Structure 1
Amino acid sequence: MIKFFRKIRQKLLSEGNTGKYLKYAVGEILLVMVGILLALQMNNWNEERKNYEGETIALMELRNEFERNYNSLLGVLDQKKKAQEGLYNYLSLLSDDSKTTSQKAKIERGPVAIVSWDSGNAVLNSLLSTGNIEYIKNDSLKYLLHDWNREIDSFDEHAIIYKDIVYELLNYEKVKLPIRMVKEGKWNYTNHSNLEIQEFREAIVDDFRYHNLLINCVNGLDIQIRVGDDFKEKFGQIINLLDTEIQKR
């Protein structure tokens, strides 16, 4: 192709036709420019296609990850709600003046639900660390994703505070009761007779200190549940935005 254009230029120069040569030169320059622009456009198109494919993959992987984490969170919150209800009912029975101390001592405390939520954010963290999060064009979605680890830290912080509250209750029970270990919803006693165990338990069921520790656990669970419900809403926002973007593919 280059030889072909060179022959045309040489022929025009040999003919001494300056006007035709200039027109040809301008045309050749324009042709080269058009070729360059077409090449750039093709390169841009390929780049956009790769970005589009990268965004699609990121959206799908994020959708799967957020759905897994959301379902896991629902399970944790369900346990905490059941524990809150159980502890509240237990506390209500201990506060019932119609029951004798002996009757109260036969009632088992329910679980305290210190179960933690483990969020697996490998996909999101990889996108953030590599900068591939920029593949996502939806600014609202991108903002929520950039802020997501802060939301997780806030939720985890309340869980840590609650654990400290629960450990205070468990330490109280370990001191007051002849137990080897306190497990969820059950006191495991060392070698003592049923009568001795009953006496140990009677010593705490009317103790205001014990009641206050139980109240702290109920309130701690209430805070976690309310924070968790807000967290669920933000989960829903992200999942809905992901679904909207995926449906556009």
Structure 2
Amino acid sequence: MIKFFRKIRQQLLTENKFSKYFLYAVGEIVLVVIGILIALSLNNWNQNQNEQNKIKEYAVSLIQDLEGDIIMTGQIQRQNEDIVSRIDSLNKYIHNRKIENFSKLDLLYFTLNKPHRPYTWKRTTFTELKNSGTLGLIKNDSLAKMISEYDAFTYHLDDDFINDRIQFEKATDLSTKVINYNYPNLMEFRIKLLPTDNVRDYNFFESKEYLVAKSIKLELITKDIYQIQEMANSYSVLMMYLRIRNDDELPNLANDAKELIALLKETYIE
């Protein structure tokens, strides 16, 4: 093809047909420009396809991460519900009760909770999306915004967890100034009291662990009703925080995750 065009140019120059040569030269330039534009378009198309394929891979991973977050937050909600239920029972128990009518073992039952569990977000895909710049390649502005807002919400909940954990430790510290925990079978008592699935389908108060602890004569550390009330107040503040998580923030986050999954599937999977 190049030899063909060269031959035409030489023939026109030889015959002194400069006007035709000029028109031919312009035409050749136009053809070259068109060829370059076509090549650039193909290159841009290939690049766009590669980017979209990459985003699709991220979408699959992101869906898996979001599904993991939903499961994890559900587990934390169940644990929070268990703690809230105990604190609510504690408040009802101490209401208008005289100090001599307090049972050391009942207070132990109400206050012996699992350590407050931190969130374990699946952030690998979120981090890669941000660090690689791929988040900016998502053409659906609503989707990109939802991803960013969801990620920010998880960090907000991490801050909430720190606040909740501080309150949990404060309440626990106050309980150690009220309740004597020196039961020889405390670990067995705790394991029986706090099964891993937070579901007690048996009567704990008829369990061997409870009956053994009940036979051990330990007194409350304090006889001051105000210390008991201070402990209960601290647990009540914790209960308020956990109810906010369970009634508002965690359900909203789970709904956001479900909406994100649906939009990711609609945009990149289906």
User: Does the alignment reach a TM-score above 0.5?
Assistant: yes
**SS of the counterpart of 1:166?**
helix
1:214 aligns with 2:235: yes
Whether the 8 Å CA contact 1:65–1:120 is kept in 2: the answer is yes
CA distance in 1, matches of 2:61, 2:139: 16
Give the deviation of 1:139 after TM superposition. Answer: 0.8
Q: Give the gaps of 5 or more residues in structure 1.
A: 187-192
Instruction: State the match for 1:37 in structure 2.
Output: 37
- What code does the residue aligned with 2:120 have? D
- Identity over aligned residues, as a percent? 22
CA distance in 1, matches of 2:21, 2:181: 105
> Aligned runs of 1:79-98 on 2, under 5 Å?
79-95=79-95
* 2:153 maps to which of 151, 154, 163: 151
CA distance in 1, matches of 2:216, 2:223: 14
Q: For structure 1, which segment, 56-65 or 21-30, has the greater mean C-alpha deviation from structure 2 after superposition?
A: 21-30
Q: TM-score, normalised by structure 2?
A: 0.76
CA distance in 2, matches of 1:37, 1:217: 65
CA distance in 2, matches of 1:137, 1:157: 31
1:60 aligns with 2:60: yes
Change in Cα spacing, 1:178 to 1:85, as seen in structure 2 (3 Å) is: closer
**SS of the counterpart of 1:200?**
coil
Q: For structure 1, which segment, 174-183 or 58-67, has the greater mean C-alpha deviation from structure 2 after superposition?
A: 174-183
Give the deviation of 1:16 after TM superposition. Answer: 2.9
Q: Which consecutive segments of 4 or more residues in structure 1 shift more than 4 A? A: 180-186, 201-206
Give the deviation of 1:76 after TM superposition. Answer: 1.0
Instruction: State the match for 2:202 in structure 1.
Output: none
Give the deviation of 1:224 after TM superposition. Answer: 2.4
- What code does the residue aligned with 2:260 have? I
Q: Give the gaps of 5 or more residues in structure 2.
A: 195-214
Give the deviation of 1:150 after TM superposition. Answer: 2.7
- What code does the residue aligned with 1:86 have? R
Change in Cα spacing, 1:111 to 1:34, as seen in structure 2 (3 Å) is: same
CA distance in 2, matches of 1:208, 1:90: 10
- What code does the residue aligned with 1:27 have? G
CA distance in 2, matches of 1:24, 1:194: 109
* 1:172 maps to which of 171, 174, 178: 174
CA distance in 1, matches of 2:268, 2:16: 64
Q: Deviations over 1:14-65 (max 9, x none)?
A: 2233444333323322222221121111111111111111221121111111
CA distance in 1, matches of 2:116, 2:234: 15
Whether the 8 Å CA contact 1:101–1:202 is kept in 2: the answer is no
Whether the 8 Å CA contact 1:105–1:202 is kept in 2: the answer is no
Whether the 8 Å CA contact 1:133–1:142 is kept in 2: the answer is yes
Instruction: State the match for 2:71 in structure 1.
Output: 71
Whether the 8 Å CA contact 1:105–1:205 is kept in 2: the answer is no
Give the deviation of 1:231 after TM superposition. Answer: 2.2
- What code does the residue aligned with 1:75 have? Q
Change in Cα spacing, 1:246 to 1:32, as seen in structure 2 (3 Å) is: closer
Instruction: State the match for 1:189 in structure 2.
Output: none
How many pairs align?
A: 242
- What code does the residue aligned with 2:145 have? Y
CA distance in 1, matches of 2:121, 2:261: 15
1:240 aligns with 2:262: yes
Whether the 8 Å CA contact 1:204–1:210 is kept in 2: the answer is no
CA distance in 2, matches of 1:24, 1:235: 62
